[in-house]
Structure 1
């Protein structure tokens, strides 16, 4: 098992600005075979209805534990709120509708990229798919929805190897008008 370093490059209360930053970064990345993963805590029946419209076969379990309800058991999520969503390997076009459905519930949307390309003029080599990810945390400051907030953070993931990839983090932050502050979370892959 490997880990990536999820480095925060932009935090804002302006969700459309965070989405624009994600679009810019996706424009830089190789996404030909990309997928998107969702993790969320859904507390509201209204949000649940909107999310299920985007992902009708949503994968989830009750926050109290799977024995209290899950999609695997065929339970009704509305009767098990709050629920935790762990839904992986979706098409890229599901990301923005999912984000729009969230309201104030916290989530992490992670784009699994094919690569961060080489940037010769910045001295950056290509980073393969194994370490190329982009995460937008919505209504949360961290990758795991443990720090709910009213802002949103864009994280870029690179290989966690003695900090030698942080020049790429700085370069990516510059592309979206952000700034790498040194805040990094380890994300198991």
Structure 2
């Protein structure tokens, strides 16, 4: 297991604006073999039903006590609410239906990219897949739903060969009308 640093570049109460920012950043990134990962806390039976329609075979465990129930044990998630969802390597077309299914529940959606491109005019070299991710936190300010909120934050993950991500983070933030807030979180990959 490795880690990445996720830098907040846009926080907005407008989910549509956040999704447009994600689309803008995806258009910049190398997305040839893109996958999407999901992390959420679900406490509502209605949201659970909608999410299960979007992500059949959902991986989950009981939030309060993982021993109390999990997808691995074949338990019914509706009887174990609230549950923690952590589902990996899904097709990119599942991201927006998942976000729409959430309602007010907090979640993180992470796009695993093939890389960030070279930007010669900004002095930026290409970044490989190992350090190129994009995360949208929905109804949460942080990657792990510890800070529920009514807004949404776009985070970019990137590190150049020198270990300095600041120049690229500022450049990507400017592409979406945001700015690097200085807030960086460690993300488990």
> Same fold judged by TM-score > 0.5?
yes
| Partner in structure 2 of residue 89 of structure 1 | 89
Show the counterpart of 2:149. 149
Residues 76-107 of structure 1: CA distance to partner in whole angstroms, max 9, x if unpaired? 10010000000000001100000000000000
The 3-state SS of whatever aligns with 2:10 is strand
2:16 paired residue number: 16
Structure 1 stretches of 4+ with a deviation exceeding 2 A read 159-163
**Matches of 1:161 and 1:110, distance apart in 2:** 22
Q: TM-score, normalised by structure 1?
A: 0.97
Pairs aligned (count) = 189
Is structure 2 residue 69 aligned with structure 1 residue 69?
yes
Distance 1:160 1:126, change over 3 A: closer
Q: Aligned-pair RMSD on alpha carbons?
A: 1.3
Question: Could you say if the C-alpha distance between residues 70 and 139 of structure 1 is closer, same or farther in structure 2, counting changes exceeding 3 Å?
Answer: same
Where in structure 2 are there 5+ consecutive unaligned residues? none
- Confirm or deny: 8 A CA contact 1:3 1:159 kept in the other structure: no
1:64 to 1:162, Cα distance in 2 relative to 1, 3 A: farther
- Using the size of structure 2 for normalisation, the TM-score is 0.97
Q: Does 1:164 align with 2:164?
A: yes
Question: Runs of 5+ in structure 1 lacking a partner?
Answer: none
